[in-house]
Amino acid sequence: MQAKKRYLLVSVGACSLLLAYLCGLQIGEFHNQNHAELYGVSQDAGVPPRPPRWPEWVDPPPQTYLGEAEQEEDGPLLLHQHTSPRERREIQKNIYKSRRCRMETCFDFQRCERGFKIYVYPSQKGEVPSESYQKILAAIEESRFYTTDPNEACLFVLSIDTLDRDQLSAQYVHNIRARIQSLPLWYEGRNHLIFNLYSGTWPDYTEELGFDIGQAMLAKASTDMDNFRPRFDVSIPLFSKDHPQKGGSKGYLNLNNVPPLRKYLLVFKGKRYLTGIGSETRNALYHIHNGDDIILLTTCKHGKDWEKHKDARCDRDNEEYTKFDYQELLHNSSFCLVPRGRRLGSFRFLEALQAACIPVLLSNGWELPFSEVIDWSKAAIIGDERLLLQVPSITRSVGSDRILALRQQTQFLWDAYFSSVTKIVLTTLEIIHDRIQTHMSRSRLMWNSLPGGLYALPEFSSDLTLFPFYYSALGKSPSQEFTAVIQAVTPLQSQQQPIFKLIHAVAKSKFCAQILVLWNCEKPPPPRNKWPSITTPFSIIEGKRKTMSGRFFPHQAIITDAVLSLDEDSVLSTNEVDFAFIVWQSFPDRIVGYPARSHYWDSGKGRWGYTSKWTNEYSMVLTGAAFYHRYYHHLYTYYLPTSLLSMVDQLANCEDILMNFLISAVTKLPPIKVTQKKQYKETMMQQGSKASRWADPDHFAQRQSCMNSFTSWFGFMPLLHSQLRLDPVLFKDQVSILRKKYRDIERL
């Protein structure tokens, strides 16, 4: 008996060994297979047979899918040749209306031939639109597209508040149908843009607006893909009535943390609707709530009679709900769940975006805000309501580098398109603008990378490498030359004038491609032979408008990426010009120059102050001697509103401050000051020798008030301080001057 037992034991042992061995082989093989697939290595004959594939026919079909006729031309039926394309277009315009509207059938492009101008109907007496709608109208009226003349308008915006079309709401405007029909320019809604935040009502929350919008475009929040007319409507984000008019608060991210994971993985805090449309999504959230790193809190409390519908979980949920602070959750979570509510969009979306909490969208069929231009996959995780249970594993599978990128993108998008009502409105308008001038529209790159579509004007060029923003993304660098633009306001009298020295010094720079003198003097410009004789191309441009802003006009003659902006009495050596240009090449999106100034908050007067004193930091570089990208001429002239430009012209002052405001608003970075040099003008060096605008005591006060006007238009103070200046590497180092490249800078 014992022997048998032993035999049995040994045989069993041996068998299990064999089995283990075989299993080992199998696992190994499995690993190999995974490995191969992971790296896209095709499996060769050594590994298991590939699945039966599409056969390799012994007689592969010889004929191509194009019939004989099609190969030559496309459906060449003579019959068809009789339908004129013009007629076909007319027929289409009649068929594709209302719900099937597209730009080509419901929009009258001819109205826009004189530019993209927007007319807002005058408001009716005694009628006060909601706060949000007032902000929308104000944003349009302050934009560069606004016109008061309906005849030159391309787009029309109603003065009737259409934001809230929920019949149960207090803001609901009655009798809208008749009022719209009575508008003299309505034309069935052609070229009209209607804003809406809430449509439909309890219980089914349809996209019903309560009136026929006809051929009008709809800029609507919570749009459903089904009702959305692609490239005709615009999906806008849902924003609250407290959303700021301008500027807007910054995103919460002020430094990039690594590792980027925050305390919580995924959070949500909000109401849930116990029954009815859209309730399932939030009601199911408790399935993935784990109380540890996934905190999804819902409350049943809303409305008067919530207790009637209350379910088994309500009490527990309500209790949990009060335990956590929403702001605390927002700031400390990597991802924020944005599930649909009654409607598809919710406030949670913008909140998450601002908090740099990567939105995880659970809202099937939602046409995301500005989806026509924004690539949301770069800033959000687009989930599927049906796959709620996968959300934890999906969010956990997002790598650190991706989180870092997604998070930064949320901040960029927030700041570029969402942080104020003005930005939301302007984005809407620019999207429509892009459709009207298709060959001059923004590419996806312009919309989805810094500084964003509102600051990148496509009219400047269709060549992205001509902008200061995309060099690294396209693997390009700015051109190696610059154009000197000298602003001349005094007549030429003697060869001793500073402008002569300046022209000679600049012309000696090997990077100087051309010198342009902007003749802004009342007298006619002197002939070429009165000017210094230099080999560098030299030309004089007489401004049509001899104004301060004229110095930043994007003249055709400027062909280099870099502009060296100079006052006629600036004093610069060739060395200084060269060095500043070399530095600019490393920072082509900023102002790089010599004289610096600073701003500060004057808490006593409650306003911004301007100082030209020597300080440890600066926030502006004067454009009397500075390099910047030529694109900023275009932006200055066409982006800024006429109100600011005419203010500058009237004062004949502040143009340099405005340029600094603009560039810092675009880049979110301070300018760059180079070298020690502070005084840069003859007149400054010989005090009081000549009456210049610098000597004027009003001059300074004006600059102070300019700053405050500019701040109010921008809606925030864009200037930023820098504590450093850039010097040549060997500047003032104790080494032979012969070793130094920029010797003149040393001597100053």
Partner 1 sequence: MCASVKYGSRGPALIPRMKTKHRIYYITLFSVVLLGLIATGMFQFWPHSIESSAEWSLDRRSVHDAPLVRIPMSSPIPERGDLSCRMHTCFDVYRCGYNPKNKIKVYIYPLQRFVDEVGVPISSTGLSREYNDLLSAISDSDFYTDDVTRACLFIPSIDVLNQNSLRVRETAQALAVLPRWDKGMNHLLFNMLPGGPPDYNTALDVPRDRALLAGGGFSTWTYRQGYDVSIPVYSPLSAEVDLPERQPGPRRYFILSSQTAIHREYRVELERLKEENGEALLLLDKCSNLSQGLASVRKRCCKGQVYDYPQILQESSFCVVLRGARLGQATLSDVLQAGCVPVIMADSYILPFSEVLDWKRASVVIPEEKLPEMYTILKSIPHRQVEEMQRQAHWFWEAYFSSMKAIGMTTLQIINDRIYPYAARTYEEWNNPSVVKWSSVNSPLFLPLIPPRSPGFTAVVLTYDRIESLFRVITEISKVPSLAKLLVVWNNQNKSPPEESLWPKVTVPLKVVRTKENKLSNRFFPFDEIETEAVLAIDDDIIMLTSDELQFGYEVWREFPDRLVGYPGRLHLWDHEMGKWKYESEWTNEVSMVLTGAAFYHKYFNYLYTYKMPGDIKNWVDAHMNCEDIAMNFLVANITGKAPIKVTPRKKFKCPECTAIDGLSLDQTHMVERSECINKFASVFGTMPLKVVEHRADPVLYKDDFPEKLKSFPNIGSL
Site for partner 1, residues 227 to 286, rule: CB under 8 A: 230-231, 253-259
Stretch that binds partner 1, among 271-279, 288-296, 519-527, 739-747 (CB under 8 A): 739-747
Please, which residue, 412 or 631, has the CB nearer to partner 1? Answer: 412
Q: Which residues pair with 267 in a beta bridge?
A: 295, 336
Residue 190, number of CB atoms within 10 A of its CB: 17
Stretch that binds partner 1, among 53-61, 498-506, 520-528, 623-631 (CB under 8 A): 53-61
Smallest separation, CB 170 to partner 1 (Å): 34
Does 408 help bind partner 1 (rule: CB under 8 A)?
yes
Does 290 help bind partner 1 (rule: CB under 8 A)?
no
Smallest separation, CB 187 to partner 1 (Å): 19
Does 5 help bind partner 1 (rule: CB under 8 A)?
yes
Give first-to-last CA distance, the chain, whole Å: 110
Stretch that binds partner 1, among 47-55, 193-201, 337-345, 487-495 (CB under 8 A): 47-55
Does 438 help bind partner 1 (rule: CB under 8 A)?
yes
In sequence order, which residues have a C-beta less than 8 Å from that of residue 363 and are 6 or more positions away?
281, 338, 339, 340, 344, 345, 346, 385
Please, which residue, 2 or 182, has the CB nearer to partner 1? Answer: 2
Does 435 help bind partner 1 (rule: CB under 8 A)?
no
C-alpha distances in Å from residue 686, one per residue of 492, 571, 715: 20, 13, 39
Task: Judge contact between 34 and 27, C-beta under 8 A.
Answer: no
Stretch that binds partner 1, among 43-51, 213-221, 271-279, 482-490 (CB under 8 A): 43-51
- Virtual CA dihedral for 516, 522, 525, 526, nearest 10 degrees? -130
Instruction: With CB under 8 A as the rule, give the number of residues binding partner 1.
Output: 150
Here the contacts of 438-446 (C-beta below 8 Å, separation 24 or greater) are 442/373, 444/373, 444/375, 445/470, 445/473, 446/470
Footprint of partner 1 on residues 300-359 (CB under 8 A)?
A: none
Which of 605, 668, 690, 693 binds partner 1 (CB under 8 A)? It is 668
Which of 167, 545, 732, 737 binds partner 1 (CB under 8 A)? It is 732
Say if strands 596-602 and 620-621 run parallel, antiparallel, or are unpaired.
antiparallel
Stretch that binds partner 1, among 174-182, 233-241, 422-430, 728-736 (CB under 8 A): 728-736
Q: Which residues pair with 685 in a beta bridge?
A: none
In sequence order, which residues have a C-beta less than 8 Å from that of residue 57 and are 6 or more positions away?
none
Please, which residue, 22 or 185, has the CB nearer to partner 1? Answer: 22
DSSP state of 366: B
CA distance 466 to 464: 5
CA distance 113 to 32: 64
Strands of 520-663 (E only): list them.
538-542, 562-567, 592-593, 596-602, 607-611, 620-621, 625-629
Smallest separation, CB 321 to partner 1 (Å): 28
Please, which residue, 154 or 180, has the CB nearer to partner 1? Answer: 154
Please, which residue, 183 or 394, has the CB nearer to partner 1? Answer: 394
Please, which residue, 137 or 620, has the CB nearer to partner 1? Answer: 620
Footprint of partner 1 on residues 56-115 (CB under 8 A)?
A: 56-67, 70-77, 79-81, 83-86, 89, 92, 96, 100, 102, 104, 109
Please, which residue, 296 or 406, has the CB nearer to partner 1? Answer: 406
Footprint of partner 1 on residues 601-660 (CB under 8 A)?
A: 614-618
Sign of CA dihedral 724, 726, 728, 732: negative
Footprint of partner 1 on residues 443-472 (CB under 8 A)?
A: 443-445, 448, 450, 461-463, 465-466, 472
Please, which residue, 77 or 168, has the CB nearer to partner 1? Answer: 77
Sheet holding 118-120, edge to edge: 146-147, 118-120, 155-157, 192-196, 217-221, 234-236
